[in-house]
Structure 1
């Protein structure tokens, strides 16, 4: 229930997981000079928002596309690795035939498994807070790919205007022109 998780995360210092105001928060507000009426109004308004979000989660849940670390592998990595980060047997066989050492293959696999485990841990931690880490990463990747062509066009203009090479987004020796 992402909406509720976000609400709880935003208000966890003052409110219980059921949307009610914590007694210690009430006492702190009273000691800060707030009236009972003001505190009750505040608690009521936030409880209404909690109930609304809870109802929406139950009747119209937000889409929660699930992305795995494998979704972020390059095409080459997808040819080499399984979704859990282990090397594919056919890749190991080909690599050994090409003279790649077994130690290096073990190291590649170890590193990729660490990457996958890190992705899974971060994704789980974010999900506890009602945040879809995989979706955020995918949207970032999509946005970057959309601006790639724009950056190439701007670089051509910058080159014509004799901009400093270190201010360019790509190496000017690339063969895109």
Structure 2
């Protein structure tokens, strides 16, 4: 969502929504024997960072691509289901003619609607924390779709760069 929201979430134990230190955190610093000048300077540093991020969010907001659950449907699911998870009328008609039971179609629709609802809930919860869940999922899918050949080529580069063996996609003794 925004840089500021992520920053506030990261430091939620230290600062309030205005970027000021919470009284509990100030007391914790005092109990750890930090002097008042240090605490004030430290608080000022946080407040400046808060103001910078707030300004950045207002003047140069980060892109926030919107992905819906429908973006993650397979091509065949897109033929079967509407974006809300309900079955398309033409699909229902054709499958009923082919002998599929109405009960099974209702169950398919119930499951897909649940899937869409869960995606929306998780996406909203992540957005509250300043995380774009849809974008993360899309990046994960793109990364996992890298082909074997691409991974093998990358591993050759990684080996030349002396990357640690546990970070390689295959055993380093794998013949190419």
TM-score between the two structures when normalised by the length of structure 2: 0.83
1:9–1:82 CA distance, 2 compared to 1 (3 A): same
Point out where structure 2 has 5 or more consecutive residues left out of the alignment.
154-169, 171-176
CA–CA separation in structure 1 for the residues paired with 2:152 and 2:92: 37
**Residue in 1 aligned with 2:68?**
68
Question: What's the C-alpha RMSD, in Å, of the aligned pairs?
Answer: 1.8
1:115–1:98 CA distance, 2 compared to 1 (3 A): same
Deviations 1:67-97 (A, max 9, x none): 0000000000000000000000000001101
**Residue in 1 aligned with 2:3?**
3
Residue 144 of structure 1, CA deviation? 1.4
CA–CA separation in structure 1 for the residues paired with 2:78 and 2:65: 20
1:152–1:79 CA distance, 2 compared to 1 (3 A): farther
**Residue in 1 aligned with 2:12?**
12
**Residue in 2 aligned with 1:143?**
143
CA–CA separation in structure 2 for the residues paired with 1:148 and 1:126: 32
4+ runs deviating over 4 angstroms: none
TM-score between the two structures when normalised by the length of structure 1: 0.83
Point out where structure 1 has 5 or more consecutive residues left out of the alignment.
154-167, 169-177
Residue 151 of structure 1, CA deviation? 5.5
Size of the aligned set, in residue pairs, is 155
